[in-house]
Amino acid sequence: MIKYKLLCKNCKKDFDSWFASSNEFEKLKRKKLLTCIICNSAKVEKNLMAPKVINNNLSNNNKEELQKFKDVKKVVKNYQKFIKQNFDYVGNNFAYEARSIHYNNKKKEKGIYGTASKKDLKELKEEGIETQIVPWIEDKSN
Ligand SMILES: [Zn+2]
């Protein structure tokens, strides 16, 4: 078994996936059977942004880029901290919870955050439920 870090070019989500072999990965990719766990897009690539790659032999230019990346990461982290403190995490139930608040006119002290598929977001929008997509860095990817 081989674990690859994959990146969805569509929604920018990165995730890990296991394959029997590198051949299996190529085969699935060729048949477009490799899809994003979030938005189902077939535009999934091996994630070349793995830390091992960006930390190797950096030119000055790349160091600047890396610093920018770190700055952005810091901003995103602060943003995440704010969301964690002020919103309730509902995980994969985001669409359900958002509808429940919208249709039952439930007044909540806190907003909610979680994950939803592109299809969910589209449907929510059609129902007049406002959502916002935020960049997210998993804590473990430090
Ligand atoms: Zn995706």
Q: What are the extents of the domains in the chain?
A: 2-46, 73-126
Quick one: pLDDT at residue 60? 66
How far is ligand 1, taken at its centre, from the CA of residue 135, in Å? Answer: 13
| 0.75 surpassed by pTM | no
Distance 120 CA to ligand 1 centre (A): 13
Q: DSSP string of 65-120? A: HHHHHHHHHHHHHHHHHHHHHHEEEEETTHHHHHHHHHHTT---SSEEEE---HHH
pLDDT digits (tens, 9 = 90+) for 89-112: 888 899 998 998 888 876 777 888
When pLDDT is averaged across residues 120-124 and rounded to a whole number, the result is: 91
Distance 78 CA to ligand 1 centre (A): 24
pLDDT mean across residues, the chain? 83
Q: Of 86, 93, 68, 76, give the one whose Cα is nearest residue 134.
A: 76
Q: Which residues contact 134 (CB under 8 A, 6 or more apart)?
A: 79, 80, 83, 113
Confidence check: pLDDT of 12 > 70: yes
- Cα(107) to ligand 1 centroid in Å equals 32
How far, in Å, CA of 81 to CA of 95, rounded?
22
60 alpha carbon to ligand 1 midpoint, in Å? Answer: 32
Decide: 86 and 110 in contact? Cβ < 8 Å.
yes
- Distance (angstroms) between ligand 1 centre and the Cα of 117 equals 8
Range in 7-21, 53-67, 128-142 the model is least confident about: 53-67
Residues in the chain: 142
For residue 136, the SS3 value is: coil
pLDDT above 80: residue 119: yes
Tell how far the Cα of 7 is from the centroid of ligand 1, in angstroms: 8
Q: Is the pLDDT of residue 30 over 80?
A: yes
pLDDT surpasses 60 at 62: yes
Taking a 5 Å cut-off on Cβ, the residues next to ion ligand 1 are 8, 10-11, 13, 36, 38-39, 41
